[in-house]
Amino acid sequence: MKQKPLRLGAAYHGNRMPAHARADLLDMATHGLDLVVHMFAHNDWERLSKAMKEIVAMSEDFGLEVWMDNWGLGGPPGDKSHFLGAYPDSHMYYSNGDLAPYSVCLNSPDFRRFTREWIDAVYDLGVRTLFWDEPHMPSKKVNGQQIYGCACPRCRKRFEEKYGRPMPLEPDEDAKNFGTDTIVDYLAEMTAYSAQKGMINTVCVMLGTYGMSLETADRICSLPHLHNVGSDPYWLGAKAKNPDLSVYEFVYNGTKENLRVANQFGKDHNIWIQAYSNPRGREEEVVEAVEAAYDAGARTIIAWSYGAGSSNDYAAENPPVAWSRMLDGFARVRSMERDRILAENRRLYRK
């Protein structure tokens, strides 16, 4: 199989001022990044479309491939869903009857229409690659019980029609399958719609989350209009539970599993590196993570996020140092890739 070219990138958010974005995008291009993932949240759509169109064009002028993230369109991860203010009957509910205040039911016909309109708006910005960010169904413990979504009246009716019984309080196998089916059906409709417009669809699967994980990613990998399947082997949470955890091993194994699933279905891949919330004094872990992803075979490696999240509350504790280490990691794997190509050229052509 022909080796995919190395692509390095970063998510960019927290700024919508084109003059400042120009300096940041130039910084990315100068440091050898190949792609940028922009957010197009509901607020961006309604109030900042002109600025976003200019930022997208700027990105491409600097040679950066642009992906557009559906950040918070239906709620977390990302922004809160503003859509729900106009369509309160599209709220997601937990299995114990609690309202999920910021999340949308993916089975809502109104939300599906709204998503298609969002795709149209992204297309009008000039973007041709969509990034579906961590589709998942929420799950949490309340009073010792594991509850989950979506269990709104619409979903309860669908579940009962499919399984011939009421939706359970705690997630059993049928409930988990129903959640996965909902995600897959939503993505099938949206990726088919965007593909009709000539757009490319990429996704990042949140590891270890109810309703979607790499264990069930084969369901979305089989979608004909989904071109690229990735994941985010973020190690800080795992290392907090197990201080002896090897960052390199964790990211390497997570990347290998992602590539196994993607390759099985003939899809491209994307691997995310945690450049946010990094503790002071542990910034070097970012370099280990980038090298691990590369060594495992990843050739599309993206940082979340530019500047180590300095515009967000979840920023690294020392953003300049964390971002500097991120760029160090990128430079190291870029050098490794050049050495690999040079060695291959020498093997093939040097007499």
Q: What is the pLDDT of residues 18-51, one digit of tens each?
A: 999 999 999 999 999 999 999 999 999 999 999 9
* Domain span at 12: 7-75+106-135+183-349
Average of per-residue pLDDT across 310-338:
97
Q: Is 299 part of any domain? A: yes
Q: Which of 68, 49, 63, 61 is nearest to 127 (CA)?
A: 68
Taking the C-alpha atoms of residue 133 and residue 77, their distance in angstroms, rounded to an integer, is 7
Taking the C-alpha atoms of residue 347 and residue 351, their distance in angstroms, rounded to an integer, is 9
DSSP 12-76: E-S---HHHHHHHHHHHHHTT--EEEEE--HHHHHH-HHHHHHHHHHHHHTT-EEEEE-TTTTSS
Instruction: Report the pLDDT value the prediction gives residue 82, as an integer from 0 to 100.
Output: 84
Q: Is 152 part of any domain? A: no
Q: Is 87 part of any domain? A: no
Q: Is pLDDT at 231 greater than 90 in this prediction?
A: yes
Q: Is 275 part of any domain? A: yes
Q: Residue 222 sits in a domain of what CATH number? A: 3.20.20.70
Total of domains in the chain: 1
CB 226 within 8 A of CB 220: yes
> Which pLDDT tens digit goes with each residue over 210-220?
555 666 677 88
Task: Give the contacts of 245 (CB within 8 A, at least 6 positions apart).
Answer: 235, 238, 239
Instruction: Report the pLDDT value the prediction gives residue 214, as an integer from 0 to 100.
Output: 63
Q: Is 298 part of any domain? A: yes
Taking the C-alpha atoms of residue 306 and residue 8, their distance in angstroms, rounded to an integer, is 12
**Helices H, strands E: what count in the chain?**
12, 12
Average of per-residue pLDDT across 259-277:
95
Model-level pTM greater than 0.85? yes
